[in-house]
Amino acid sequence: MVLVCVALAGWILAVWLLLRQPRVPTSPPDDYLKPVSPADLPVDPLPACAVVLDMRPLQAKIIAELHVQPMIDADAEIRRSVDFLKQYLTHSIYTSLVLAISGGQDSTLAGKLAQMAVQELRDTTGDDYKFVAIRQPYGKQRDEDDAQAALTFIQPDVIVTTDIQPATDAMTTALRAGGLTVDDMSRGSIKPKMRMIAQYAVAREHNGIVVGTDHAAEAFAGFFTKYGDGGTDINPLWRLNKRQGRQLLVALDAPAHLYDKVPTADLEDDRPQLPDEVALGVSYQAVDNYLEGRDVSEQDATQIESLYLASQQKRHEPITIYDTWFY
């Protein structure tokens, strides 16, 4: 891939330089043919392909594993995801897509794609395909207005609300009765598992599959709860980083405040609305640049690679005797 990219970058650079040369006038000036110095060249950025020429070894592996592209066509990726969802439904026994909507960038995007997919299937087949959006607050959600704005944008066929607080609190009480401490981080892990249970209950009643929101800028770090928000049937955002997901929402005319807001999983009671970037220890901008094959600081690269290596088991099915990836 690197060799192909080098050749492509060289070809583009040659054509680019040729086109940037001034047109020859009828009577060229005396200095027209003087050599062009690097300082005289235009500063337009080179194509994104050129940024992958000198990647770190592990960076190239991560990009290949997560299938991240250095640049995308937003409309083409929207169509690709919608067709992917349609293809799975039409080759399965299921007739609905089910997804929890939080009001953040990822669920807003996945929800819109899901609604588009079932609408197109209804239009072309006449069958009763549906998208079921689930609201799953823990008691009262601090950014409930964003969740409602996302639902208004998506226009789901069905909306179901399941408050996970009673189930989460009951599980916490039961575990503490068994002698466990169940600190705030543990409770933060229980919440998405309760949501997963409810999502599959809703999916069961609507003959549906559970849609996930996992994407490359989270998957690299295992930044999800295994068998929680990571417990899904189909992931239409897989391959996109955070920046690219935002590009798709812009192309879909989503409300800007839904993709401009600070991303947060909001799982911890002691640190409500904790930004993802604080939890990760690295900015999404650095993560996106890394995943697109660009240069990032040594500190950011080290943090990204440490998170990747420490979370490999979360990106795999349960380990069997035939697995070798861990040694």
Q: How far apart are CA 311 and CA 301, in angstroms?
A: 16
Q: How far apart are CA 107 and CA 211, in angstroms?
A: 9
**What's the pLDDT at 53?**
53
Which position among 77, 106, 214, 300 bears the catalytic label?
Answer: 106
Active site residue 106: yes
The SS3 of residue 286 is helix
pTM recorded for the entire structure: 0.83
DSSP string, 188-219: HHHHHHHHHHHHHHHHHHTTEEEBP---HHHH
The SS3 of residue 98 is strand
Residues constituting the chain: 327
| 87 and 121 Cβ atoms separated by less than 8 Å | no
Amino acid at 85: L
Token pair 């690219």 in the structure block, residue: 244
Nearest to 200, CA basis, from 272, 96, 275: 96
| 244 and 236 Cβ atoms separated by less than 8 Å | no
Q: How many CA atoms lie within 13 A of 104 on its CB side?
A: 20
**What's the pLDDT at 265?**
86
CB under 8 Å to 184, separation ≥6 — which residues?
A: 268, 269, 270, 271
Q: How far apart are CA 215 and CA 82, in angstroms?
A: 16
Which position among 157, 218, 266, 292 bears the catalytic label?
Answer: 218
Nearest to 166, CA basis, from 139, 136, 189: 139
- What residue ranges in the chain does DSSP mark as E strands? 96-100, 130-135, 158-161, 208-210
Mean pLDDT in consecutive groups of 10 residues from the start of the chain, 327 residues: 44 40 39 35 37 79 97 98 98 98 97 98 97 96 94 98 97 97 95 97 98 96 93 97 98 97 87 90 97 97 97 92 90
Q: How far apart are CA 193 and CA 292, in angstroms?
A: 32
**What's the pLDDT at 6?**
39
Full strand arrangement of the beta sheet holding 158-161: 158-161, 130-135, 96-100, 208-210
The SS3 of residue 32 is coil
The domain over range 71-274 is classified in CATH as 3.40.50.620: yes
CB under 8 Å to 267, separation ≥6 — which residues?
A: 187, 188, 189, 191, 192, 274
- What residue ranges in 156-314 does DSSP mark as E strands? 158-161, 208-210
Q: 158 forms bridges with which residues in the sheet? A: 132
**Which one-letter DSSP state was computed for residue 174?**
H
